[in-house]
Amino acid sequence: MTGAPHIPVLLDEVVAALEPAPGAVIVDATFGAGGYSRRLLDAGATVHAFDRDPDAIFAGRGWEEARATPPRLVLHPRRFSEMVAALGEAGVSRVDGIVMDIGVSSMQLDQPARGFAFAAEGPLDMRMGQDGPSAADFVNTAGEGDIADVLFRYGEERQSRRVARAIVAARPLTTTTELAQVVRKALGHNPRHKGPGAPKDPATRSFQAIRIHVNAELEELEQGLFAAEHLLAGGGRLAVVSFHSLEDRIVKQFLREASGATAAGSRHLPQAAAGAAPTFAHVAKAVRPSDAEIARNPRSRSAILRAATRTDAPPRERKAA
């Protein structure tokens, strides 16, 4: 891991939403640098922390709470979509709170060798778990149509077909800077437009889309929300921080359906049957960072926190994909 600081987003608001108490069992579904876990542990809770990134798990093993007997920080080197099975193996069937901080972490973005960003040259990787097919595998082997679909669906890139055509023509691509240059050229980007007020680098949308695809991030989020519904005890709190509209849309729709505010369902999330008791209540109004937080941590700018409380109703049946 690098020495780059990681600042947890909406930290006070997340802790307030979870209301941790001594003896509570809380899941930090996206451990990262442990910013949320630290505050939850300080409040006296036992934390089960998940992260698919082995670097994050390795760093967490040095924490005093992870080495205590019994440990108050239990680390799970797994995807958070697997938390029902993982906690079952640990003898935990119900928890008092779950926090999820969706998307790529600052540590991953700030390490060129991980290939998530194009500010510095690095291998075209983007794998959160450091296993499975990489971004390079995808852009160098996928069909032009498949690449265009990913760029449009996950990056909301209006010129997705033009960019996909340029990517295929430039193959093989091996570094982040190579890919960024191909995207910029395809979109007619003027590199002289820099500084405050300059438009966002057009490569950003494509990098976001490819990263989401490589890590199946939206599918993970849907499965993680479903897992949270099964794990939370009545009165348990769910807090989810997302960073772009695709993620927030999933969270917002999930809480609407689970609280009985709408009967419409998505392809994957469970749908309430007619007359079924809501599984979540007290859905809080979306919370965004203050101007002061954004000034301290510009990466928090697009963050949105949504929180709700689990009812005593049994979990809904999940629809088949």
Per-residue pLDDT, 5: 52
Cα diameter, the chain: 59
First to last CA, the chain: 37
Q: Is residue 249 part of a domain?
A: yes
Per-residue pLDDT, 320: 46
Q: Judge if 127 and 82 occupy the same domain.
A: no
CATH of the domain at 16: 3.40.50.150
* Contact in structure between 299 and 293 (CB atoms under 8 Å): no
Token readout for 247 is: 């993620």
Q: Judge if 40 and 77 occupy the same domain.
A: yes
User: Which pLDDT band holds residue 119 (cuts at 50, 70, 90)?
Assistant: confident
The yes-or-no verdict on residue 263 having pLDDT over 70 is no
Structural domain for 258, as ranges: 11-106+217-310
User: Which pLDDT band holds residue 120 (cuts at 50, 70, 90)?
Assistant: confident
Q: Judge if 50 and 170 occupy the same domain.
A: no
Q: Judge if 135 and 67 occupy the same domain.
A: no
pTM of this structure: 0.89
Q: Is residue 99 part of a domain?
A: yes
Q: Judge if 196 and 180 occupy the same domain.
A: yes
Q: Is the peptide bond before 5 cis (omega within 30 degrees of 0)?
A: no
The yes-or-no verdict on residue 159 having pLDDT over 80 is yes
Number of domains comprising the chain: 2
CATH of the domain at 173: 1.10.150.170
Q: Judge if 99 and 139 occupy the same domain.
A: no
What is the Cα–Cα distance from 50 to 219, expressed in whole angstroms? Answer: 17
- Residue finishing a domain among 215, 248, 266: 215
Q: Judge if 171 and 95 occupy the same domain.
A: no
